[in-house]
Amino acid sequence: MKTAAVIGAGIAGIAASIRLATKGYAVDVYEANAYPGGKLSTVEEGGYRFDAGPSLFTMPHLIDDLFQLAGRNPTDYFEYVRLDETCRYFWDDGTRLTAWADLERFGREVEAVLDEPAEHLHGHLVDSALKYDVTEKLFLHRSLHKLTTWLNRDALRGYLNLPKLGVFRTMNSANERRFRHPKLVQLFNRYATYNGSNPYQTPATLNIIPHLEYNIGAFFPVHGMISITNSLVRLAEELGVRFHYNTRVTEILTAGKRVAGVMSDEQRAKSDDEPPVVSATHHSSLVTHHCDLVVSNMDVVSTFRKLLPNARQPERILRQPKSSSGLIFYWGIRRKFTELNLHNIFFSDDYRAEFDSLSGQQLADDPTIYLNITSKHKPDDAPPGCENWFILLNAPNNTGQDWDTVIAQARQNVIRKLSHGLGVDIEPLIETEAVLDPRSIESRTSSWQGALYGNSSNNRFAAFLRHPNFSHQFKNLYFVGGSVHPGGGIPLCLLSAKIATEMV
């Protein structure tokens, strides 16, 4: 039986392990943490449960595909529902707007609240669907680094529709042309942050993102985002995949133009009868694992710098600017707020200034706040009468800032803004607190500089400057996850696993 080693049990690593197992490989997944999922994991604090990272779930069929590939019925493992409300938006001047899944209703809301003709909204979403349709097969389902991708009917369609893709203007300028109300421009500019980019720099091609949320839909996994990880790990284990936790890969072993396996550092819990080791309850041992192919789900920059330091480094790709990071507060709140729902946004007054701050490696004083409350749909995530607040701010990459000071200041800014928006002092309602910041994102997942989505998409060539899903140097080395083609976010990570394993 052929053997494969997967480095990392992030969503793409798990998906790759399932796909390889269905191809007949014996698969071992080595995971540095004690738990699977990487960014897609869970946090528990004082009776509250939070999804640690991703909260917006789109394109659920990509998860279903994995169960179907393995001959299973997806609903035996994983359940989700379509949301009838996509997001609630709040501005400091008291304006409130709900984005409904029913687009006619959303159109009426936009007309009533912002006096913006509904046809502007509908036109934008039709255009978004067109962009998606043209780019999907070309950019999302194939390697951009194989000639066959560029010599077929889908590519021809792409060339013919190039002017419609918005490659030559920014997202903001396209949205300013489309909408007359600045608040609607801001609302649709926000989609740049779905892959950690800046709407004033990223090309309007990224206006494909609203298509996912509005035309295909936003969904909620009935047992929380963590059930994506848990159900896929269960499937993988049933297919014979072996997960090795607390096992960090320290080196990819090479032999000429091939990789021969991985070296791992296994942190074993010390048993009582073993002699004490210096200042630790764990100790390490280096172990070599030989295999026929290796898939790295570790960030590609970290893979080259740390696991392949003697290989040729693809500098141009590795040095691309990274997507933004995030600062997350997990707050247990001892009250319920009927004006809030699952997804809520409290916009900054000056969106451009916010992105200028991020470009200057700083957090804005008036940040846009994303507030996610899963207990609205999954009441057991919070004690009775309480809510689990997941608060995400766009944050710069970790370049050595004084994060403790930055976090303390940001906390005050968030409390001030939410207290103003909700008309009640929030601070005394915070019962429990945990924090995730660019430093801890980097240390917990090996994401370079704590970037949430690998490289940024702030220039029109970004898609071509992500690392391919295969290695040019080593025939049997593959790459999956948010730092490589086609990019970050759960759907694209799942597609990276599909593209990589189809090349095997």
Strands, sheet with 258-269, edge to edge from the N-terminal-most edge strand: 247-255, 258-269, 282-290
Rounded least distance, CB 445 to ligand FAD, Å: 4
Q: What is the H or E stretch that residue 15 is in? A: helix 11-22
Does 261 help bind ligand FAD (rule: CB under 6 A)? no
Instruction: Check: CB of residue 323 under 8 Å from CB of residue 197.
Output: yes
Considering the complex, what minimum distance in angstroms separates the CB of residue 395 from ligand FAD?
A: 10
Size, binding site for ligand FAD by CB under 6 A: 37
In whole angstroms, how close is the CB of 50 to ligand FAD at the nearest point?
11
Distance CA 482, CA 40 (A): 12
- E runs forming strands in 188-277: 219-221, 242-244, 247-255, 258-269
- Dmax over Cα atoms in the chain, in whole Å? 74
Runs of H (alpha helix) within 61-142? 61-69, 103-114, 118-135
> Is residue 54 within the footprint of ligand FAD (CB under 6 A)?
yes
Q: Are 188 and 210 in contact (CB under 8 A)?
A: yes
Residue 372 Cβ vs ligand FAD, minimum distance, rounded to whole Å: 8
Nearer to ligand FAD by Cβ, of 116 and 135: the residue is: 135
195 interacts with ligand FAD by CB under 6 A? no
Q: Binding ligand FAD by CB under 6 A: which of 17, 50, 53, 207?
A: 53
Show contacts with ligand FAD in window 408-447 (CB under 6 A).
Answer: 441, 445-447
Under the criterion CB under 6 A, does residue 482 sit at the interface with ligand FAD?
A: yes
Minimum distance, C-beta of residue 200 to ligand FAD, in the bound complex (Å): 21
133-148 per-residue burial string, b: 16 or more CB within 10 A, e: under 16: ebbebbbbebbbeeee
Helix/strand/coil for 125 = helix
Show the binding pattern over residues 294-333: x = contacts ligand FAD (CB under 6 A), - = does not.
---xx---------------------------x-x-----
- Indicate the residue among 131 and 248 with the shorter CB distance to ligand FAD: 248
- CA separation for the pair 24, 18 (Å, rounded): 10
Instruction: Considering the complex, state which of residue 328 and residue 407 has its C-beta at the smaller distance from ligand FAD.
Output: 328
Cβ at position 430, least distance to ligand FAD in Å: 19
DSSP assignment of 134-156 equals HHIIIIISS-TTSHHHHSSHHHH
Binding site for ligand FAD (CB under 6 A): 7-13, 30-33, 38-40, 53-56, 248-249, 297-298, 326, 328, 392, 441, 445-447, 452-453, 481-482, 488-490, 493
